[in-house]
Amino acid sequence: MSDSSQALRQNFQQAGQGHVFDAWDSLAERARRRLVRQLEQVDLAQLAAMRAAITAVAGPVPRKLSPAPAFAMADESFPYLLHDAARAVVPVGDRALRRGEVAVILVAGGQGTRLGFDGPKGCYPILPLSGMTLFEVFARKLLRAGREYGRTPPLYVMVGNHNEQATRAFFEEHRCFGLNPADVKFFAQGELPALDDNGRLVMAGPDALWTAPDGHGGVIAAMHSKGMLADMRARGVRYASYVQVDNLQIPVVDAAFLGLHISEGAEVSLKVVRKTDPAEKVGIYCLDDGVPSIVEYTEFTPADSNLRGQDGRLAFWQGNMAVHVFGLEFLQRLADTSTQLPLHAARKKVNDAEAWKFERFVFDTIPLANRVVCMEVPREEQFLPLKNPDGPFGPEGVRAACQQYWKKALKLARPDLAEPPVIEVDPALCENARELATAIQGRKVDTSGPLRLEPQA
């Protein structure tokens, strides 16, 4: 064993993890090198944080929760109106987009396994007529933004080590869906090991630790280590729009949302949808002992979950969508100070046995920000995630909800038309019902059969 390998072994033994070298003597040289490379990436100082995360699951700390301020919608009836203040600052967001100050972070580390799909979730065909995939949907939204603002925001795609190659190949095969390849960057999130019930690192085999992606909260460290933050700075980017690839309806950039973030001097902003069912399993934006935070629904007491305001509606109503705008200076500050977001532990099946798996969540940036802005958006218009094999967030449920929305939008835009049996609106055409009315004004539209609306040449 070389001196460096011997020193590594001693470090793991001192941390109570000497078992990772149990098979060393029986390993071939190549397997030994592979194991050493992996172990060199393990931060043994994180073991204490992992154990603390496990303890937190067993006994959550009582919280002092109170509702947080938000820019609620001005009109909750279709076709909806954002808060007056949000609509007033649209020109501020427009200006940032026209200046090229906005980038898009697309989180796409997931696989389509739960959907019965062999490949990255972003490769899943979701639109009903064209079979357009999630990745193409987001690319075409970006193309529309480029057409509207004269600058197409650069796209930073966070993948996992397990799907990076397939994702890159998919974009190459489709020529980046019309985007400039120089403006599409891929970077892999980090990995975290698992612990068994004795606090020992779980092995995947004699020459490898078991690891899993570190969650969407790993985005900051990954962007920093892979040079993405530096790339943004070099391009003059000041604001990052953060979206997840499974949310079919979400805009990639939103001038009103950006405008609020900028005009309010926020470091982190978030979109929320109104929670009406106390039992809905969604994190809530609120104040935790006065500090803006996302608190998981499991950490609410029944009394808090059912608490009503003077208007008779839920007091804790701000459902987290995992949609943000970040100030680049804020992200850089966290990276420069090596600020680690908290670890969250969960019991999972690992190597056919129960063990503790760990993740970081991007919403844990919120308590670290000096100023946070929260904006409510319409649920059916902007929150349609593809999560499960069936049900409302399965492929058929998502397609049905999308159909329902666009049929209502078409009826609003053209009440003279019959309802088509199937409708698909190209993401490159428009974002919502109000934009659809403008986009098809004066156009000949045939609804006698399946209808696909796309930009005119």
CA angle 284, 122, 243 (to 5 degrees): 35
If asked whether residues 121 and 21 sit together in one domain, one would say: no
Structural domain contains residue 423: no
* Residue 340 near residue 45, CB atoms below 8 Å: no
Structural domain contains residue 417: no
If asked whether residues 49 and 77 sit together in one domain, one would say: no
Among 350, 367, 389, the domain-final residue is 389
User: Which residue from 76, 182, 94 is spatially nearest to 145, judged by alpha carbons?
Assistant: 94
Side chain identity at 356, as an amino acid letter? Answer: W
Torsion angle defined by CA atoms of residues 227, 233, 234 and 239, in that order, rounded to the nearest 10 degrees: 110
CA dihedral (146, 378, 270, 279) positive or negative: negative
If asked whether residues 261 and 285 sit together in one domain, one would say: yes
Query: What is the block-wise mean pLDDT of the chain (457 residues), using blocks of 10 residues?
Result: 87 96 96 95 94 88 92 98 98 98 97 92 97 98 98 98 96 98 97 96 96 95 97 98 97 98 98 96 96 93 94 97 98 93 94 94 98 98 95 95 97 96 98 96 95 92
If asked whether residues 125 and 21 sit together in one domain, one would say: no
If asked whether residues 103 and 199 sit together in one domain, one would say: yes
Structural domain contains residue 410: no
If asked whether residues 16 and 149 sit together in one domain, one would say: no
Side chain identity at 441, as an amino acid letter? Answer: Q
What is the Cα gyration radius of the chain? 24
Among 389, 405, 433, the domain-final residue is 389
DSSP 43-108: -GGGHHHHHHHHHHHHSPPP--EE----B--SB-STT-B--HHHHHTHHHHHHHHHTT-EEEEEE-
Residue-level length of the chain:
457
| β-pair partners for 137 | none
* Residue 285 near residue 294, CB atoms below 8 Å: yes
Distance between CA atoms of residues 191 and 215, nearest Å: 8
If asked whether residues 43 and 109 sit together in one domain, one would say: no
CA angle 217, 242, 219 (to 5 degrees): 25
If asked whether residues 27 and 158 sit together in one domain, one would say: no
Q: Give the tokens for residue 309.
A: 């305001």
Kindly report the number of other CB atoms within 10 A of residue 199's CB atom. 13
Structural domain contains residue 442: no
Which pLDDT tens digit goes with each residue over 45-54? 999 999 999 9
Among 56, 75, 100, the domain-final residue is 56
Structural domain contains residue 438: no
Q: Write the CATH number for 109.
A: 3.90.550.10
The pLDDT value recorded for residue 124 is 97
If asked whether residues 108 and 231 sit together in one domain, one would say: yes
What pTM, to 2 d.p., does this model score? 0.96
Structural domain contains residue 405: no
Which pLDDT tens digit goes with each residue over 153-184? 999 999 999 999 999 999 999 999 999 999 99
If asked whether residues 18 and 133 sit together in one domain, one would say: no
Number of domains present in the structure of the chain:
2
User: Which residue from 153, 141, 333 is spatially nearest to 229, judged by alpha carbons?
Assistant: 333
Give the domain range for residue 253.
Answer: 62-389
Distance between CA atoms of residues 302 and 296, nearest Å: 13
If asked whether residues 144 and 278 sit together in one domain, one would say: yes
If asked whether residues 49 and 93 sit together in one domain, one would say: no
User: Which residue from 362, 412, 393 is spatially nearest to 249, judged by alpha carbons?
Assistant: 393
Q: Give the tokens for residue 193.
A: 């090991």
Structural domain contains residue 453: no
Structural domain contains residue 431: no
